[in-house]
Amino acid sequence: MKSILSIQNISKKYGFIQALKDVSFDVPEGSVYGILGPNGSGKTTLLGILLDVLIASAGSYQWFGGIHSEDARKDIGSLLETPNFYHYMSAFDNLEITARIRGKGLDDRIAVLKQVGLYERRNSNFQTFSLGMKQRLAIGAALLGKPRVLVLDEPTNGLDPAGIAEIRELIKNLNKDGYTIIIASHLLDEVEKVCTHVAILKKGNLLLQGPVDAVLNNDDHVEVRAADMAGLKVVLEQMPGIRKIILADNTLSVLGAAGAGPQDINAYCISKGIVLSHLALKKQSLESKFMELTK
């Protein structure tokens, strides 16, 4: 898959503080890429560098295969902080001011309002909007000028569950429309539902990166039970590909390599005369993986 952004060994120091250290990863075109980490992990600093707001202490990055940064910025819509919309003005007029300040996107306002689901409220004053609607308008402002990429810093921060759901669906729909989206967030459950790829940062260090399914797949486990639990444990200890077996609450949690999935375990047990009374695949959540890596 073609990379729309390539980051090579980016580091950033503030005096004696190492905000980022040798961070490298590629963002595939068409992906929703989540940059995750607790407060102070370097997420916002990295986005600031990628958008030319900050200068890296070391390392480099390339947008769109290495075009000039000024040209690249024309194809990037960003939301690093909520824009200062005028409360007494309509959504349509607020977008006009934003477009004129940026020098682009004046003719995109109707299309953008439709994209973010606010066209019917285009003439409503900003102060009448819910928090979710205000954030959708902010994302709409980032869409002015028809960028190829959206960079969003904590797009659901401060929203209630309904607002979070609104933004989640908007991000999914924008991705279906062809946008590559880069999100910095700490809301792991929500990111897991929308992201195709993830990079996990801790204190400026990149701990893990890659497709979400691949990142989590290594630690999926299979739960099994049988009438003869002792015999089941002995049989599974002899099965090729089994890495670890844990007994808890009269259930065996089996961690296996490729070729040791639920169907393989079931077939192997039957071949050894063991009939399973319980068989279930338990996928590790992004949150549990994140907690495991950053604790």
pLDDT category, 50, cuts 50, 70, 90?
A: very high
How many percent of the chain have pLDDT more than 90?
65
pLDDT over threshold 80, residue 66: yes
Same domain, 236 and 123: no
The average confidence (pLDDT) of the chain is 89
- Confirm if 94 and 129 have CB atoms less than 8 A apart: no
Task: Please name the helix (run of DSSP H) or strand (run of DSSP E) that holds residue 49, with its range, or none.
Answer: helix 43-50
Are residue 105 and residue 184 in the same domain, yes or no?
Answer: yes
Residue ending a domain, among 173, 195, 216, is 216
Helix ranges (H only) for 51-90 are 69-73
Q: How does DSSP classify residue 36?
A: E
pLDDT number for residue 43: 93
Q: Could you tell me the CATH number of the domain that includes residue 26?
A: 3.40.50.300
**Domain range spanning residue 184?**
3-216
Residue 208: per-residue pLDDT: 87
Closest CA to 154 of 127, 182, 115: 182
Predicted pLDDT at 227: 93
My answer on whether 30 and 137 are in the same domain is yes
- Considering the domain architecture, whether residues 99 and 33 belong to the same structural domain is answered as yes
Query: Per-residue pLDDT for 12 more than 80?
Result: yes
pLDDT at residue number 295: 62
| Share above pLDDT 70 across residues of the chain, in percent, rounded to a whole number | 93
**With 80 as the cut, is the pLDDT of residue 132 above it?**
yes
How far is Cα 253 from Cα 222, in angstroms, rounded to an integer?
Answer: 6
Look up the CATH number of the domain holding residue 244. 3.30.70.980
Structure confidence at residue 157 as a pLDDT band (50, 70, 90): confident
The yes-or-no verdict on residue 294 having pLDDT over 70 is no
CA 291 to chain centre: 16
Total number of domains in the chain? 2
**Least confident residue range of 177-191, 226-240, 261-275:** 177-191
Q: Is the pLDDT of residue 188 over 80?
A: no
Residue 64 is predicted with a pLDDT of 93
Band of residue 284 on the pLDDT scale cut at 50, 70, 90: low
Do 93 and 209 lie in one domain? The reply is yes
Residue 211 and residue 237 in one domain: no
Say if residue 121 is in the same domain as residue 140.
yes
Give the tokens for residue 237: 């200890």
**Amino acid in position 109:** R
The verdict on 211 and 244 lying in the same domain is no
Q: What is the mean pLDDT of residues 205-211?
A: 90
Of the residues 186, 216, 246, which one is the last residue of a structural domain?
216
Strand partners, 5: 27, 63
Q: Which has the minimum average pLDDT: 64-68, 92-96, 271-275?
A: 64-68
- Say yes or no: 23 and 111 in one domain: yes
Mean pLDDT of the region 221-234: 92
Residue 71 clears pLDDT 60, i.e. is over it: yes
Tell me the DSSP string of 142-205: HHTT--SEEEEESTTTT--HHHHHHHHHHHHHHHHTT-EEEEEES-HHHHHHH-SEEEEEETTE
In this structure, are 197 and 261 located in the same domain? no
pLDDT at 218 over 60: no
Whether pTM > 0.75 for this model: the answer is yes
* Poorest-pLDDT segment among 78-92, 146-160, 191-205, 253-267: 253-267
Question: What's the CA dihedral at 171, 74, 63, 42 to 10 degrees?
Answer: -60
Highest mean pLDDT: which range of 129-143, 175-189, 270-284 = 129-143
Cβ neighbours of 71 (radius 10 Å): 10
Q: What is the pLDDT of residue 57?
A: 96
| Same domain (yes/no): 223, 187 | no
Based on the domain organization, do 274 and 153 belong to the same domain?
no
